[in-house]
Amino acid sequence: MAKQARAIQTRRVILEAAGAVFDEFGYESATIAEILSRAGVTKGALYFHFASKEELARGVLGEALTTEGVLPQESKLQEWVDVGMVLAHRLPAEPLLSASIRLSADRKARDLFGTSWTGWIDYIAGLLVAAKEQGELLPHVDPHQAATLFVSSWTGVEIVATSLENDQTLEARIAVLYDYFLPSVAVPGALRRLDTAPDRGGRVWQAHHEHYGQERAAEPDGVLSSRA
Amino acid sequence: MAKQARAIQTRRVILEAAGAVFDEFGYESATIAEILSRAGVTKGALYFHFASKEELARGVLGEALTTEGVLPQESKLQEWVDVGMVLAHRLPAEPLLSASIRLSADRKARDLFGTSWTGWIDYIAGLLVAAKEQGELLPHVDPHQAATLFVSSWTGVEIVATSLENDQTLEARIAVLYDYFLPSVAVPGALRRLDTAPDRGGRVWQAHHEHYGQERAAEPDGVLSSRA
């Protein structure tokens, strides 16, 4: 493996370990020692990439604003559904994503690093503006207001679900969110054509990998510019 | 003041101080010393009511499941709106309420004490079952599923709002949540009659106090049995 590719992979391994530790212990109680032990890298390797716990948290949040796996769709409402469903599909297997929610909900960490929520709200609002231009949106819908409520609700579903009995996947819960949300947003003609099945995220994610004919690359793609 | 009434008031003062400290520092970093200093009571008084930080957190969560201020309504959907709007009205002024959300979202605290979310979900589901019996609900709506999504969304709106610019009150944001949620739940005839204006919570809260002809009593009423 070329030197640069190895460095990128090491950075990723460290970030994933940091994500898992932040997720489990919270920012305050997380230690570099625990992150080192999970990552299985040397102290030197970690400090080469991240000078401090603060930088690790910033790195985790920087990876969180990702639409990786979502392909452009003719219907911008379907693309919006795909963004939320793919994230719901990926999150349980990717501690980087759940850690970023935990860090954002943690007042101390949030004061230091901000959150990825404003970036998400702007991104979803952009999709809804495009949907409006295509005539997919009900006329009274304010894209920014709807995007703010949606990002808030998605986050609340994830946070509350982790405390409920594990009888439903996050994908199933987010599919319910879309089913309740969409009738207040979409014109009936657009609504009928949307696919909000709980397995939508998994299918889109798989199609993305087949499209690129490869396993998920070490380099993260689809990472939006972070506001963190 | 009678001895018992004074004890109840002291307990309340301590809980409110504990709520403010948990809210600001999180469970892990909160100290008894800080709670003492905020409450302005002696160490002896605090330990008379609460033996430990754990008991203080349990006390805070025990106060959180409250429908105080909500009067019974002919429309059970309106009563549901009132529960959410009164809480949105009260929360910014009552650290006990915001602290309980902070404690529930904190994994460490949650593992120790549970959350008040299951209690809230059961309570809202009960209102929706009553609404269904009165013919207010669309036929396909599952009360428990809708209640779970609603409590999750309400929580997410509160958590995300604290990180956004303070351009909108929590009441205005929760009014938007009802406006998007209700058309997927209510039959059109019931929907038209609902009052979801942002100032609904304040008006209901005031009517409650006029109804009882008194300022808010030291004894909390309307506290549901806690699942914490």
pLDDT, tens digit (0-9, with 9 covering 90-100), for A112-170: 888 889 889 999 999 999 999 999 999 999 999 999 999 999 999 999 998 887 789 99
> Do B49 and B72 share a structural domain?
no
Which two tokens mark B78? 């309106």
Q: How confident is the model at residue B224 (pLDDT cuts 50, 70, 90)?
A: low
Query: What's the gap in Å between the CA of B210 and the closest CA on chain A?
Result: 33
Q: Looking at chain A, which residue has its C-alpha nearest residue B29?
A: A28
Q: Looking at chain B, which residue has its C-alpha nearest residue A153?
A: B153
> Do B178 and B72 share a structural domain?
yes
> Do B193 and B127 share a structural domain?
yes
Which two tokens mark A50? 């991240």
> Do A117 and A146 share a structural domain?
yes
Q: Looking at chain A, which residue has its C-alpha nearest residue B108?
A: A25
> Do B69 and B56 share a structural domain?
no
User: With 60 as the cut, is the pLDDT of residue A217 above it?
Assistant: no
Task: Indicate the residue of A149, A154, A163 with minimum beta-carbon distance to B110.
Answer: A163
Q: Looking at chain B, which residue has its C-alpha nearest residue A119?
A: B164
Q: Which of B41, B63, B85 is the last residue of a domain?
A: B63
Q: What CATH number is given to the structural domain containing B123?
A: 1.10.357.10
Measured CA to CA in angstroms, residue B18 lies from A168, A210, B40, B115 at distances of 34, 54, 12, 17
Q: What is the structure's pLDDT at B228?
A: 36
**Residue A116 main-chain phi, psi, to 5 deg:** -95, 5
CB A130 within 8 A of CB A76: yes
Cα separation, A218 vs A69, in Å, equals 14
Residues of chain A positioned with their CB less than 8 A from the CB of B28 = 26, 28-29
Helix-strand-coil percent breakdown of chain A, rounded to 5?
70, 0, 30
pLDDT, tens digit (0-9, with 9 covering 90-100), for B15-31: 999 999 998 888 888 99
In a domain, B130, yes or no: yes
Q: What is the structure's pLDDT at B127?
A: 97
In a domain, B218, yes or no: no
In a domain, A143, yes or no: yes
User: With 60 as the cut, is the pLDDT of residue B217 above it?
Assistant: no
Q: What is the structure's pLDDT at B100?
A: 86
Burial of A169 (C-beta count, 10 Å sphere; 0-12/13-18/19+) = middle
pLDDT, tens digit (0-9, with 9 covering 90-100), for B100-149: 888 888 877 888 888 889 889 999 999 999 999 999 999 999 999 999 99
In a domain, B137, yes or no: yes
Domain span including residue A12? 3-62
Burial of B191 (C-beta count, 10 Å sphere; 0-12/13-18/19+) = middle
Which two tokens mark B48? 């008379």
Q: What is the structure's pLDDT at A225?
A: 45
In a domain, A14, yes or no: yes
Taking an 8 Å cut-off on Cβ atoms, the answer to whether B26 and A177 are in contact is: no
CB A43 within 8 A of CB A14: no
pLDDT, tens digit (0-9, with 9 covering 90-100), for A163-200: 887 789 999 999 999 999 999 999 999 999 999 999 99
In a domain, A225, yes or no: no
> Do A181 and A103 share a structural domain?
yes
> Do A89 and A30 share a structural domain?
no
User: With 80 as the cut, is the pLDDT of residue A215 above it?
Assistant: no
Mutate to test the interface with A, among B113, B116, B159, B227 (most CBs of A within 10 A): B159
Q: How confident is the model at residue B220 (pLDDT cuts 50, 70, 90)?
A: very low
Measured CA to CA in angstroms, residue B94 lies from A110, A175, B86, B87 at distances of 22, 34, 12, 10
> Do B84 and B31 share a structural domain?
no
- Identify the contact set of chain B against chain A, taking CB-CB distances under 8 A: 24-26, 28-29, 102, 104-108, 110, 114-115, 117-118, 145-146, 148-149, 151-157, 159-164, 173, 176-177, 179-181, 183-185
Q: Could you give the number of structural domains in chain B?
A: 2
Query: What's the gap in Å between the CA of A145 and the closest CA on chain B?
Result: 8
Residue from A133, A159, A132, A158 nearest A147 by CA = A132
> Do A106 and A50 share a structural domain?
no
> Do B142 and B84 share a structural domain?
yes
Task: Indicate the residue of B145, B146, B159 with minimum beta-carbon distance to A159.
Answer: B159
Q: Looking at chain A, which residue has its C-alpha nearest residue B164?
A: A118
> Do A200 and A153 share a structural domain?
yes
Q: What CATH number is given to the structural domain containing A7?
A: 1.10.10.60
> Do A82 and A50 share a structural domain?
no
Q: What is the structure's pLDDT at A1?
A: 61
β-bridge mates for residue B56, sequence order = none
Cα separation, B98 vs B159, in Å, equals 9
User: With 80 as the cut, is the pLDDT of residue A219 above it?
Assistant: no
Task: Indicate the residue of B146, B156, B164 with minimum beta-carbon distance to A156.
Answer: B156
Taking an 8 Å cut-off on Cβ atoms, the answer to whether B148 and A156 are in contact is: no
Q: What is the structure's pLDDT at A29?
A: 85
H or E segment and range at residue A117: helix A117-133
In a domain, B205, yes or no: yes
Question: A–B: how many Cβ contacts below 8 A?
Answer: 121
Q: Looking at chain B, which residue has its C-alpha nearest residue A168?
A: B145
Residue from A85, A18, A14, A21 nearest A45 by CA = A14
How many secondary structure helices (H) and strands (E) does chain A include?
12, 0
In a domain, B220, yes or no: no
B85: Cβ contacts below 8 Å, ≥ 6 apart: B171, B174, B175, B178, B196, B200, B201, B204
Across residues A13-23, what is the average pLDDT?
A: 93
pLDDT, tens digit (0-9, with 9 covering 90-100), for B75-104: 999 999 999 999 999 999 888 888 888 888
Task: Indicate the residue of A107, A117, A157 with minimum beta-carbon distance to B26.
Answer: A107
